C-alpha cells in the first residue's frame, strides 16, 4: 500500500508548486509510471482522490501513462522490451534497464489566476 505514500508525495509537491506559482487550480496531473515499479494505477488514483479531498487540490484529475520495460545489452548494444532477461540478439545476461523504472510527474494542466 505504498500508493498512499506516493499520493501524499504528489499532493505535497503540487501544493507547494501551486503556492509558489500562484495557480488558481490544478485540473489534471499526468504521471509516467514504469512497469517495473510496483504501482497499482487504480489504487493510486483512489489514494490521490482521498488525500486531496477537502484540500485545495480537490477535484484534480490523475492520469497515468504506463511505461513498458526496455533493456539494453551491455555486450552487443541491442535493445529489447518485455520480460525476457536475456538479450535476444546475443544471449547475454549483461543488461541495463533503459525504461520501466519511471515514477514521474510528467506534466500538469492548471488554471492560472485571473
Partner 1 sequence: MTLQQSIMAEDERFAAAIRESNERRGLLMVNMIGSPGCGKTTILERTAQSSGLSFGVIEGDLATNRDAERLDRLGVPVVQVNTHGGCHLEANVIEKAMESLPLDSLDVLFVENVGNLVCPAEFDLGEDFKAALLSTPEGADKPLKYPYLFSSSKVVLLTKVDLLPYLPFDMKMFSEDVKKLNPEAPVIPMNGMTGEGVEEWTKLLREKIREKKAHAR
Q: Which C-beta is closer to partner 1: that of 69 or that of 79?
A: 69
Q: Which C-beta is closer to partner 1: that of 21 or that of 53?
A: 21
Q: Which C-beta is closer to partner 1: that of 90 or that of 93?
A: 93
Distance, in Å, from the CA atom of 33 to the CA atom of 73, rounded to the nearest integer, reads 23
Q: If you search the block for the grid coordinates 535493445, which residue do you land on? A: 79
Beta bridge partners of 80: 71
Contact 108, 31 (CB under 8 A): no
Shortest distance (Å) from residue 88 CB to partner 1 = 14
Q: How far is CA 24 from CA 27, 39, 58, in A?
A: 10, 30, 12
Shortest distance (Å) from residue 102 CB to partner 1 = 9
Shortest distance (Å) from residue 58 CB to partner 1 = 19
Residues 6+ apart with CB under 8 A from 15: 55, 56, 57
Q: Which C-beta is closer to partner 1: that of 12 or that of 55?
A: 12
Shortest distance (Å) from residue 54 CB to partner 1 = 21
* Interacting residues with partner 1 (CB under 8 A): 1-2, 5-6, 9-10, 12-13, 17, 31, 36-38, 85-86, 93-95, 103-110
Amino acid at each position: 500500500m505504498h500508493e498512499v505514500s506516493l499520493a501524499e508525495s504528489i499532493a505535497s509537491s503540487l501544493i507547494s508548486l501551486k503556492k509558489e506559482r500562484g495557480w488558481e487550480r490544478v485540473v489534471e496531473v499526468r504521471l509516467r509510471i514504469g512497469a517495473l515499479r510496483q504501482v497499482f494505477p487504480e489504487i493510486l488514483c483512489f489514494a490521490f482522490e482521498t488525500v486531496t479531498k477537502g484540500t485545495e487540490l480537490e477535484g484534480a484529475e490523475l492520469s497515468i501513462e504506463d511505461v513498458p520495460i526496455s533493456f539494453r545489452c551491455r555486450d552487443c548494444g541491442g535493445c529489447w522490451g518485455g520480460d525476457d532477461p536475456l538479450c535476444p540478439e546475443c544471449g547475454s545476461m549483461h543488461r541495463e534497464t533503459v525504461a520501466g523504472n519511471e515514477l514521474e510527474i510528467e506534466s500538469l494542466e492548471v488554471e492560472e489566476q485571473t
